[in-house]
Amino acid sequence: MLVDIHCHLDFEGFNDLNEVIERAKGAGVIFIINNGISKKSNRKTLELVGKYDVIKPALGLYPDEALKMNDRQIKSEIEFIKKSKPIAIGEVGLDGMRVPNMIRQKEVFQKFIDLAKELDIPIIVHSRQAEETAVEMLEKSKVKKVIMHCFNGSLKLAKRIEKHGWYFSIPPIICYANQFKDLVKEVSSNYLLTETDSPFLSHEKGKRNEPMNVKETLKVIAEIKQIEVEEAEKIIFMNYKRLFG
C-alpha cells in the first residue's frame, strides 16, 4: 500500500487524469494528497476529491500566490479552508529563492501554522532556501504534526526536525539527486514519507511526474536502508497511519 503525500493533479497537463489514477491504483497507491496552492487550486482540489475516492485534500496558499492577496482575502480563504475540512494544510511555507518579501511570507505562513494547530491536522511545508527560518517558526509555535516536503536544508537541521518527530516526504527525484539520498541516510525510516510533487520532480529528467512513481522513491529508500522494498513500503505506510490516523 503506497501513499503520495504531496502532488498537484489540478495543474495543467493532466488531461489523462483517469488513466493517471488507474495507473496509480494499479501500482498499489491507496492515498494521494492533492495540495492546493491558490484560491483556484484549492477549489479544483476539492473537485478532484469529489471525483476520485483515492484523492484527499490539503488546502493552502503557496508563498507567491499569497503575496498577491491582501489580509482580508487571506482571511476569507482561511475561512473557506476551515469549512472545507481538509486532511492537511498545504502547500504553505516560505520560499527564499524565487519569492520576494520574506517578512510578508512569514506573516502568512504563521497564519497557516495557527490554522493547522487549530484544526489539529498536519501541515505540509515548502521551505526552499528558508529551511531554518521555517523550522524556527514551527518550533516557536510548538507544532506537532509537520511534513517537510522536498526538504533541501542541511543534515544538521534534518536531525533537529527528526528530534521533533516531524516527517520528510521524499520525491522520486531522489533517483538522481544525491542530497535526498544523504537525507534518507541521515534520518530514521520512521520519519520518512513518499511524495511525487507531480507534475514536477520526476525520477526521469524532464518527464511529467505522476503518483504511481512513489514506487521509484520507495526502491531507493529500500536500497539505502538495506531492506526489502516490501519492508520499506510497510514502514512508510505505518508512518502515514501514525500521522493521519
Residues that bind Zn ion (CB under 5 A): 91, 197
What is the SS3 assignment for 54? coil
Nearer to Zn ion among residue 189 and residue 198 (C-beta): 198
Identify the residue whose cell numbers are 517558526.
137
Nearer to Zn ion among residue 45 and residue 189 (C-beta): 45
Nearer to Zn ion among residue 56 and residue 222 (C-beta): 56
List Cα–Cα distances, 89 to 22, 38, 46, 147, in angstroms.
26, 12, 13, 10
Nearer to Zn ion among residue 90 and residue 143 (C-beta): 90
Rounded to a whole number of angstroms, the minimum distance from the CB of residue 84 to Zn ion is 19
Nearer to Zn ion among residue 91 and residue 131 (C-beta): 91
Cα–Cα distance for residue pair 66/58, rounded to 1 Å: 16
Strand order, beta sheet including 88-93: 2-7, 29-35, 55-59, 88-93, 123-126, 146-149, 167-170, 192-194
What is the SS3 assignment for 40? helix
Task: State the cell numbers at 189.
Answer: 525510516
